[in-house]
């Protein structure tokens, strides 16, 4: 099987699918340093939300609570990984990057910065308790 095609910004083109396998395929195909960060994110989310629902849609891993929509996604760009909190405007403290979509907030993870696992943990634990985004 050939390696997935990388789209603009180095985002892996992964077939749409439900479950852990497509998410792991996406993470494995993330270029360079992004794959290690993707693994860390996935492990953090899975450790905090053991029954987390996973899928890949639109070449983006999604994480949700069973039957309650999606609370988080991430996506590769040239210089960073964008972590999306679908109800991010309800999180404290507010994730730093705004969106044109109401309620959505982002955090950008860069190669040369260690991400703040404590802050991400807090956001994930808050986000999973909110009604999820139906996509």
How do residues 20-30 score in pLDDT, each as one tens digit?
A: 999 999 999 99
Asked if residues 49 and 128 have their Cβ atoms less than 8 Å apart, the reply is: yes
pTM greater than 0.85: yes
Asked if residues 94 and 51 have their Cβ atoms less than 8 Å apart, the reply is: no
Return the pLDDT at 75. 96
- H/E segment holding residue 106: strand 105-110
Residue ranges of domains in the chain: 8-128
pLDDT in tens, 50-91: 999 999 999 999 999 877 899 999 999 999 999 999 999 999
Q: How many helices (H) and strands (E) does the chain have?
A: 3, 6
Asked whether residue 1 carries a pLDDT value surpassing 60, the answer given is no
Q: For residue 133, what are the β-bridge partners? A: 70
CATH topology for the 8-128 domain:
3.90.1150
What percentage of residues in the chain have a pLDDT greater than 70?
Answer: 98
* Mean pLDDT computed over every residue of the chain: 93
CA dihedral 86, 92, 97, 98 (to 10 degrees): 60
Give me the helices (H) in the chain, please.
20-29, 33-48, 117-128
Question: Which residue is it, tokens 């390696």?
Answer: 3
């Amino acid at each position: 099987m050939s390696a997935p095609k990388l789209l603009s910004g180095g985002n892996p083109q992964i077939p749409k699918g439900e479950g852990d396998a497509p998410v792991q395929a996406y993470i494995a195909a993330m270029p360079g340093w992004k794959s290690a960060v993707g693994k860390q994110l996935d492990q953090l989310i899975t450790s905090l939300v053991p029954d987390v629902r996973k899928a890949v849609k639109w070449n983006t891993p999604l994480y949700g609570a069973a039957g309650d929509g999606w609370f988080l996604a991430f996506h590769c760009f040239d210089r960073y990984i964008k972590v999306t909190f679908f109800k991010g405007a309800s999180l404290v403290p507010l994730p730093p990057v705004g969106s044109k979509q109401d309620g959505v907030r982002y955090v950008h993870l860069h190669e040369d910065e260690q991400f703040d696992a404590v802050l991400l943990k807090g956001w994930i634990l808050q986000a999973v308790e909110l009604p999820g985004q139906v996509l």
